[in-house]
Amino acid sequence: MREVPGVTEATGVAGMTGNAEFRPVGIVLVSHSGDVARAVAAMAQGLAGGGALAPIAAAGGTPDGGLGTSAELIARAAADVDRGAGVAVLVDLGSAVLTVKALLAEGYDLPSGTRLVDAPLVEGAVGALVAASAGADLDAVARAAAEAYEYRKT
């Protein structure tokens, strides 16, 4: 994969669980900042524990490294994490939601089963990665991410 600011090559190991058919849900983290998206992906991987992790990729910022969102970076990240079980997309702020919704509505070249997940970016990324790495299907991964809304900090 060529080096593009804001998108990281999918990380995670599929097929290393002893099951040759392990096809986890992929996860894409969309942020207006490439640094934020990459940091959240790294944090989720660190907190998800050892073993085989589902693929996760950051699609943050614009192709030139600026702040914003990019349909191109999001589509590339989704293709990178796709293992045939669907792709869960988590986003940070309003226009990222609009960008992903536009991609889905316009039939943009996204993997089959790509879904925008209504979840907080940081906590949702951890829940989604843990669930996907355990072999959960796309619905269960989306629920695990959305359950992060229930975690109260006060």
As annotated, the active-site residues are 32
27 - beta bridge partners? 56, 88
CB 74 within 8 A of CB 59: yes
CB 41 within 8 A of CB 66: no
Other CB atoms within 10 A of residue 67 CB: 14
Counted residue by residue, the chain has a size of 154
Where are the extended beta strands (E) located within 35-154? 56-60, 87-91, 114-116
Question: C-alpha distances in angstroms, 43 versus 46, 95, 114, 117?
Answer: 5, 24, 23, 19
- The whole-angstrom separation of Cα 60 and Cα 73 is 7
